[in-house]
Structure formats: structure tokens, C-alpha cells
Amino acid sequence: MGVEKLEEGQNKIEKIEGVISSRIVGEGNEKEIHVIADKTRDPKRIVRDIETIFQVEMGKEIDHKKISIARIERDESERYSRRLELISVHQEKDKPCFHYKFSLDGQIIEEKISGSLIEGEARLAALGMLELLEKYDLIEGCLRLKNVQIIGFNTSVILVEIQLFRGRHYHSGVNLLGSVYINNNLPLAASKACLKALNRLIQ
């Protein structure tokens, strides 16, 4: 594997969720992969991801015994300095499907989340927002949507209550509350209320 291939392999590995840095050393069957990862994922899953990348994208087999994973605590200021800005949220007509458009670290991202409207439009929109926060690793811990209420004169305000579970056993959660004016866009308001509840933890 030449220098360019080594760099390509390392770049692909470092795009894997949870990986901080990597290094490939040796040649041929003696090649070894050393990875530094945070503690957000099981090392076995990272190893499987690396094997898949080498097989599918680079056409090479890699023995899982040649992959070593060192896990460290990611620096909190580095992990949560990412900048999230919600641009729009809208529902597909007559469908339990919401489209989210947001900016993350200056990059525009669009996602679609589907579910069931049995519990209501606002709750589904909020659940979708929490799913995206976890998908992009913007929150440390596990999020649970506890309550969604629409209150105020002419139902003008939405309140969202979220439980954040942290720690090894997740026995108890911290309750966080966010509220915003609806302004004729309930899905967007529900999503913004989630962000407001978690604001200090995201930025």
C-alpha cells in the first residue's frame, strides 16, 4: 500500500463515527491499523466498520486481529463546540413525515424523519429533532421526550420537556424544558423548543 493509499485509508477510517484519529503501518499481510476512538461506540462495531470499508471501498481484506482500538474521553470543549442552526422544518402533505433543514458547522444538511401521527404533529416533530441530535452526536447521553404541551392565549406557545440520561447506569434523568412561540409553524416550533431546552449542552 503506497503513501496515497495509506492516506486514503486513514481518511476513510477517520470518518467513522466515534473515531478521533488513525494510523496504518506495515505492508501486505503485516499491515496493522491503530485507532484512537472516543467512548460513544462499542470497539467491535468500529472494527467491523473498518473491515467493511477496506473490503467494499478499497477492495482489500484486513484481519480484525490487526486492528487495535484505544478508547479515550473526548475533550468536552472540542466535542460540543459544534454550531447547529435550524433553518426549516415542514411536514409532507397528509403524511407522518417531516423534512429538516439545518446548518451544522457551516454545512447545510437535509434529513427526513418518518413516524406515526397518533400522538400528534408536534410530538412527532420533536421526536425527529431529538433523533437527529443523537445521530450527529451533538449530545452526550440518551434523550427521552417526556412531554409536549401547547398553551397560552390562542394556543400560541409550545412547551417541550426532555429527559437527559447520563452515566453508566442511566438510572435517573435530568428534566429540561424549552418553550417558543408557535408563529403558525408547529413542526418548526416543536423542534426549536427541543433545541432551546438543550441549548447550553449543544453549543
> What pTM value is reported for the model?
0.59
User: Tens digit of pLDDT for each residue in 88-107?
Assistant: 999 998 889 999 999 988 88
DSSP string covering 36-84? EE-SSS-HHHHHHHHHHHHHHTS-----GGGEEEEE-PPPHHHHT---E
Boundary-marking domain end, from 37, 58, 74: 74
Distance CA 64, CA 73 (A): 23
Q: What is the pLDDT of residues 144-169, one digit of tens each?
A: 999 999 987 777 899 999 998 876 54
Supply the range of the domain harboring residue 56: 3-74
Residues 92 and 166 in one domain: yes
Q: Where among 39, 74, 109 does a domain terminate?
A: 74
Query: Looking at the predicted structure, is the pLDDT value of residue 170 above 60?
Result: no
Q: Could you read off the pLDDT of 23-42 as tens digits, one per residue?
A: 888 766 667 888 988 887 88
Domain boundary among the residues 15, 48, 74 is at 74
Do 141 and 172 sit in the same domain of this protein?
yes
User: Residue 199: pLDDT above 50?
Assistant: yes
In this prediction, residue 29 carries a pLDDT of 63
